[in-house]
Amino acid sequence: MTGDIQTYTVSKAEQDEETHIETDICVLGAGISGVSTALEAAEAGADVVLADASKAIGGQAVGSIIGTLIGLYSHGEDPYQLTHGIADDLIEDLEPEGSIERISAQTSELSTVLFQYDEVELQRWMERKCEELGVRPLLGAILTDVDFADRTVNHLDFATRNGPVRVEADGFVDASGDASLCWEAGLELREPDEPVYGSLNFLIEGYDTDAVADLSMEAVHDRLAAVGEEYGLVREDGHLMHFSEKDFMLANITHLETPLDPLGYGEMVFEGREQADRTVEFLQVEFPDIFEGVSVRRYGNPGIRQTRWIKSRDQLTLEDLREGYQPDDAVARGSWSVELHDTPEDVHWEHFEDGHVYYIPLSCMVPAGADNIVTVGRCVDADTQALSAIRVMGICIGMGAAAALSLDLAGSDPVYDVDMDELQDRLYDNLERTD
């Protein structure tokens, strides 16, 4: 090798040449919902493009350091797994190496199984699975236009740093979190009439990792209620979760009003980091035996809980969750509690009785005015209280499988006309298994 590198001169053309991609299914949004959809669709044999504005996949599960996978198990004395598919692969691959840790959560109101995970290893797992199954990632791609006519999306247009991209597909999945695909298609959406607060999670280090075993979150909550305002803190509950055999802790103790204007997100980032810094000061002063030397290891991106979602063929309601009936078009299930972050100070909880399970119908995942779009995650149509329960990661994985298989069966036909018996047979593990 000589080390000589030759160069040549280029200039931007008047109009960039467009990259044209054809695929079976295009998934917009690469968080846990979108990744689940893409992997399940690829497993079924579909060619899949997974598009996201970020430069890496993982969404809030990674970038917002959620750190805890909830909603995967039922509640009660003998909780069982509600969602399988890629959830099984995830646990089987990451649990032996300690990248995901199974935790038996036992409180007076809640008895279930949840998982703490290493967000770095989760992201690498997602990337490796996409490579293994041939999912094509389109990253750093900003949605600019949706060609929508006669109830059908024909293609999506994106802007990337390497020029415009057009993606044509038979079916589309809106896993954007904000129903961005449906919004750009001009479909009717819903918004909450009152603020739903997000959080900026962060990792802290430099505390006493032995003494933290004696930390009482009840004592932390009591001090937050008593003196939190003096530190500029608004939330009076939250979580501090030490990772076993590691020297850092996840802090979920902030509340931020979620904006929908373009400049608001940046302000949310700044305010979230300021609340994180104030939390560190609070811990240093109020609990010095454990936290005297604590500092921020890493700030996450703001975690957003609810913004916009679709108006569907059949909205899921809190009463539906309470009743727990299994509709004819059930495609996923859950049991996580209502967890509505509707005030700055705390969270409104409504827990269901032990063994209670509710179901998500395909009809609440399909926009009323479209034939070849399925939504997943917090884009689906539920009232504000119901959405606060079903938007958690475990249930989102189940919705991803339902979206993938419904589009796979539908082909070029309207997705809501899919053979429901065949679809539910393919989703049996996520609807019927109790082992």
Which residue among 303, 338, 355 closes a domain?
A: 303
Q: Is position 4 within any domain?
A: no
SS (H, E, C) the chain: CCCCCCCCCCCCCCCCCCEEEEEEEEEECCCHHHHHHHHHHHHCCCCEEEEECCCCCCHHHHHCCCCEECCCECCCCCCCECCCCHHHHHHHHHCCCCCEEEEEEECCCCEEEEEEECHHHHHHHHHHHHHHHCCEEEECCEEEEEEEECCEEEEEEEEECCEEEEEEEEEEEECCCCCHHHHHCCCCEECCCCCCEEEEEEEEECCCCCHHHHCCHHHHHHHHHHHHHHHCCCCCCCEEEECCCCCEEEEECCCEECCCCCCHHHHHHHHHHHHHHHHHHHHHHHCHHHHCCCEEEEEEEEECCCCCEECECCCECHHHHHHCCCCCCEEEEECCCEEECCCCCCCEEECCCCCCCEEEEHHHCCECCCCCEEECHHHCCECHHHHHHHCCHHHHHHHHHHHHHHHHHHCCCCHHHCCHHHHHHHCHHHHCCCC
* Enclosing domain of residue 291: 197-303
> CB atoms < 10 A from the CB of 92, how many?
10
Closest CA to 384 of 329, 336, 339: 339
Q: Are residues 212 and 340 in the same domain?
A: no
Closest CA to 303 of 62, 30, 37, 56: 62
pTM listed for this prediction: 0.95
Instruction: Categorise residue 386: left if φ over 0, alpha if ψ from -120 to 50, beta otherwise.
Output: alpha
Q: Is position 54 within any domain?
A: yes
Cβ atoms of 94 and 117 within 8 Å: the answer is: yes
Q: Are residues 172 and 273 in the same domain?
A: no
Which residue among 303, 336, 369 closes a domain?
A: 303
Q: What is the CATH number of the domain that holds 234?
A: 3.30.70
Q: Are residues 43 and 150 in the same domain?
A: yes
- Residue 17 has what pLDDT? 85
The count of structural domains within the chain is 2
Cβ atoms of 341 and 305 within 8 Å: the answer is: yes
Q: Is position 71 within any domain?
A: yes
CA separation for the pair 130, 392 (Å, rounded) = 22
Phi, psi angles (nearest 5°) of residue 333: -145, 165
- Residue 244 has what pLDDT? 81
CA separation for the pair 392, 339 (Å, rounded) = 10
- Residue 6 has what pLDDT? 81
Q: Are residues 55 and 97 in the same domain?
A: yes
CA separation for the pair 202, 67 (Å, rounded) = 10
Which residue among 303, 328, 359 closes a domain?
A: 303
Q: Is position 109 within any domain?
A: yes
Q: Is position 6 within any domain?
A: no
Q: Are residues 234 and 353 in the same domain?
A: no
Q: Are residues 295 and 412 in the same domain?
A: no
**Please, how many CA atoms are within 13 Å of residue 342, restricted to the half-sphere of its CB?**
12
Q: What is the CATH number of the domain that holds 168?
A: 3.50.50.60
Q: For every one of its 435 residues, what pLDDT tens digit does the chain have, with 9 covering 90 and above?
A: 567 788 887 777 766 689 999 999 999 999 999 999 999 999 999 999 999 999 999 999 999 999 999 999 999 999 999 999 999 999 999 999 999 999 998 887 889 999 999 999 999 999 999 999 999 999 999 999 999 999 999 999 999 999 999 999 999 999 999 999 999 999 999 999 999 999 999 999 999 999 999 999 999 999 999 999 999 999 999 999 998 888 999 999 999 999 988 999 999 999 999 999 999 999 999 999 999 999 999 999 999 999 999 999 899 999 999 999 999 999 999 999 999 999 999 999 999 999 999 999 999 999 999 999 999 999 999 999 999 999 999 999 999 999 999 999 999 999 999 999 999 999 999 999 999
**Please, how many CA atoms are within 13 Å of residue 414, restricted to the half-sphere of its CB?**
13
Q: Mind listing the pLDDT tens digit for each residue in 250-299?
A: 999 999 999 988 999 999 999 999 999 999 999 999 999 999 999 999 99
Q: Is position 12 within any domain?
A: no
Q: Is position 372 within any domain?
A: yes
